[in-house]
Amino acid sequence: MKFHLHKNPQYIPQIFQVLKRKKNQSLENTHTESMNWCKANCIDQNEALKQLIKIDQTKEFIDLFPNEIKEAQNIADAAPVKMGGGGAATFIYYLVKYSNAEEIIETGVAYGWSSLAVLMAIKDNKKAKLISNDMPYINMENDDYVGCVIPEKLKDKWELQRLPDVRGIPLALKKFNNTIDFCHYDSDKSYTGRMWATPLLWSALKKNCFLVVDDINDNLAFKHFCESVNKNPLIIEYLGKYVGIIVK
């Protein structure tokens, strides 16, 4: 399948990011070490929530909003383009809800399950807003279905940027005056991409606020970043993958 850059100039910055990965090949291929680290340090989701936001009992996201989830699932099932599944929506919902986050950035959207979790958490907060950034999938023609599970009633609190991370993250931060109080990172999973984006997002994060990173078992980027800022993360398991959380 051919891909023509002159017809898709928005991809050019991301192509350079991909080329940079070759220089970090040994670090890109650290899945086994990262998986072992995650398994050794993983704790239960409810225990993590107890430590982070001091709540003891939680209901699953689907049990909190059964009608909304059913409608969203029907939309996702009907979509002709198949994308990644939802992240740890319950976990994200409670973190956003109980931290009273208002200036929120998310990278990586797909159908929009984690976006939905954030938007349900902030729906009654007049000041809160979510900016999501998602690069169109090359040659998938999925543009019309990114964020498709988000209902119209929540879109006034949501802005979707369709850009590669190297353009979209700085733009989103600029819109929040380079100050955010929650970030969910679920886009470029490469070591190179994470080690570029995470410090940028971390620098804008307010004190005592959360950075959540999905699929940290892919490589050692999250571990290395935590070490660089001298932070001990919490790690939870979700459907065989691992999510990392650090507090500024």
For residue 15, pLDDT beyond 90: no
For residue 205, pLDDT beyond 70: yes
pLDDT band, very low/low/confident/very high, at 12 (cuts 50, 70, 90): low
Residue 246: which residues within 8 A CB-CB, separation 6 or more? 210, 211, 226, 229, 231, 232, 233, 234
Rounded to whole angstroms, the Cα distance separating 23 from 20 reads 6
* Averaged confidence pLDDT in the chain: 90
pLDDT of residue 30: 94
User: Strand 129-133 and strand 180-185: pairing?
Assistant: unpaired
Residue 7 lies in a domain: no
Residue 13 lies in a domain: no
Q: Under DSSP, is residue 156 helix (H, G, I), strand (E, B) or coil?
A: helix
Residue 174 lies in a domain: yes
The secondary element (H helix, E strand) that includes residue 234 is strand 234-238
Residue 173: which residues within 8 A CB-CB, separation 6 or more? 105, 180, 200, 201, 204
Residue 128: which residues within 8 A CB-CB, separation 6 or more? 101, 102, 103, 104, 122, 157
CB 233, CB 211: distance < 8 Å:
no
Residues spanned by the domain of 35: 31-247
For residue 76, pLDDT beyond 50: yes
Residue 18 lies in a domain: no
pLDDT band, very low/low/confident/very high, at 239 (cuts 50, 70, 90): confident
Percent of the chain with pLDDT over 70: 86
Q: What tokens appear for 120 in the block?
A: 């349900």
For residue 6, pLDDT beyond 60: no
Q: CA torsion sign, 177 to 182 to 187 to 188?
A: positive
Cα-Cα-Cα-Cα torsion 34, 27, 18, 163, nearest 10 degrees, comes to 40
CATH of the domain at 138: 3.40.50.150
Rounded to whole angstroms, the Cα distance separating 120 from 72 reads 13
Rounded to whole angstroms, the Cα distance separating 225 from 204 reads 15
Q: Under DSSP, is residue 157 helix (H, G, I), strand (E, B) or coil?
A: helix
Residue 208 lies in a domain: yes
Q: In whole angstroms, how large is the CA radius of gyration of the chain?
A: 17
Residue 94 lies in a domain: yes
Residue 2 lies in a domain: no
Q: CA torsion sign, 89 to 207 to 194 to 33?
A: negative
Q: CA torsion sign, 162 to 168 to 169 to 171?
A: negative
Mean pLDDT of 138-153: 82
Rounded to whole angstroms, the Cα distance separating 151 from 143 reads 17
pLDDT of residue 125: 96
Mean pLDDT of 195-218: 97
Number of domains in the chain: 1
Residue 15 lies in a domain: no
The secondary element (H helix, E strand) that includes residue 107 is strand 103-107
